[in-house]
Amino acid sequence: MLLFRWTIFLLLLAAGVCFTFYIGTGRPHYRRWGIVILKWTVIAALGFFGVLVLERLL
C-alpha cells in the first residue's frame, strides 16, 4: 500500500518537474512528457482505488 502511494506521489512530482522545465525553457517535449506522465499517473491511481473498492466489496 505504501509502495503504491509513493509511486503515485513520485510520478506526480516528475510531471510537475516536467511542466516546470517546460515553463522555464519553452521546449515542447517537456510538456509532452509531463502530459504522458500525468496520464499514466491518473490511470495507475484509478487502478489502485479500483482495487481498494473491490477489496471492500468482497
How many helical (H) and strand (E) elements, i.e. helices and strands, does the chain have?
2, 0
The pTM of this model reads 0.83
21 lies in a domain? no
Judge whether residue 12 has pLDDT over 90.
Answer: yes
Domain count of the fold of the chain: 1
Task: Tell me, yes or no, whether 48 lies in a domain.
Answer: yes
Give the pLDDT confidence of 25-56 residue by residue, as tens digits. Answer: 999 999 999 999 999 999 999 999 999 999 99
Mean pLDDT of 1-19: 92
Q: Is residue 55 part of a domain?
A: yes
Domain region containing 50? 1-10+31-58
**First CA to last CA across the chain, in angstroms?**
18
